[in-house]
């Protein structure tokens, strides 16, 4: 939204000055920052969603808020797989508040790049917000501008347990484990993530050999 003005003398309205234009004012809901560049390092980044216009209360309803449904779209993904980014919430509310510094309502959203253990290069996604269940004609069919999220691929470590079974650790050590049972293959010290492997007897009476027969991850 912006304004333009011209000046002229009352006696000679046909002679007008050059047009002066005010600075533009964005009226609506927007993301800050308008774009993100993040990496697959597990760090959460904060997006602010704000409304630059007051949140009205329709009728006698005291729920003075706008509920936004959030979604993501991978722009360059050709194969089925995990999304590029994960959000901290599926819905957020913009609650009515006094307007201050071009913000009349604001909320925060966490965005994290998904570590997919794949060398798939830099990828681009969009985060979208759509008002839901809103009866005010001002917001009906209104869609804020998407925010562009660029995800940088980072090299990841690998560990292996294969055949009978030979094990290669993250730092390249190799050894064999011929025991039968369920074993912890790896565990994260920063989040609830671990992988278990199960081994059974596959050598019979002739040799003490164990083989991988199952894997579970959480």
127-150: pLDDT as tens digits: 999 988 766 677 777 889 999 999
- Residues 94 and 68 sit within 8 Å (Cβ to Cβ): yes
pTM of the predicted model as reported, rounded to 2 decimal places: 0.70
4, 21 in Cβ contact below 8 A?
A: yes
**Mean per-residue pLDDT, 23-33:** 91
Distances (CA, A) of 25 to 103, 161, 175: 12, 59, 65
Cβ contacts of 135 within 8 Å, gap of 6 or more: 58, 59
How many beta carbons lie within 10 A of that of residue 182, not counting itself? 10
Bridge partners (DSSP) of residue 166 are 162, 176
Distance CA 185, CA 147 (A): 39
Assign 96 a pLDDT band (cuts: 50, 70, 90).
Answer: confident
The answer to whether 125 touches 84, Cβ cutoff 8 Å, is yes
Question: What is the phi-psi region of residue 62: left when phi exceeds 0, alpha when psi lies from -120 to 50, beta otherwise?
Answer: alpha
- Give yes or no for residue 42 having a pLDDT over 80: yes
pLDDT value of position 88? 95
CA-to-CA dists, residue 217 to 27, 125, 135, 192, angstroms: 47, 27, 45, 10
**pLDDT at 24 > cutoff 70:** yes
Residues in the chain: 218
| pLDDT at res. 64 | 82
The secondary structure of residue 137, as a DSSP letter, is T
pLDDT at 126 over 90: yes
Tell me the average pLDDT of the chain. Answer: 87
Pairing between strand 147-152 and 35-39?
parallel
Q: What is the pLDDT of residues 149-208, one digit of tens each?
A: 999 988 878 888 888 888 999 889 998 888 889 999 999 887 788 999 999 988 777 777
- Which domains does the chain show, CATH number per domain? 29-152 (2.60.40.10), 160-217 (no CATH)
């Amino acid at each position: 939204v912006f304004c333009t003005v011209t000046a002229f003398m009352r006696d000679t309205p046909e002679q007008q000055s050059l047009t002066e234009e005010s600075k533009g004012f964005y009226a609506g809901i927007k993301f800050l920052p308008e774009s993100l560049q993040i990496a697959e390092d597990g760090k959460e980044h904060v997006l602010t969603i704000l409304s630059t216009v007051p949140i009205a209360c329709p009728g006698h309803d005291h729920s003075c808020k706008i509920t936004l449904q959030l979604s993501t779209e991978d722009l360059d993904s050709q194969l089925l797989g995990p999304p590029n980014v994960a959000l901290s919430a599926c819905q957020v509310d913009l609650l009515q508040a006094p307007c201050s510094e071009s913000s009349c309502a604001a909320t925060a959203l966490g965005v994290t790049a998904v570590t997919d253990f794949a060398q798939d290069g830099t990828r681009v996604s969009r985060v979208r917000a759509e008002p839901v269940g809103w009866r005010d004609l001002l917001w009906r069919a209104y869609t804020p501008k998407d925010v562009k999220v660029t995800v940088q691929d980072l090299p990841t470590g690998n560990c292996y347990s294969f055949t009978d079974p030979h094990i290669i650790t993250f730092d390249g050590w190799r050894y064999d484990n011929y025991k039968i049972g369920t074993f912890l293959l790896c565990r994260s010290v920063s989040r609830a993530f671990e992988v278990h492997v199960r081994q059974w007897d596959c050598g019979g009476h002739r040799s003490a050999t164990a083989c991988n027969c199952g894997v579970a991850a959480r």
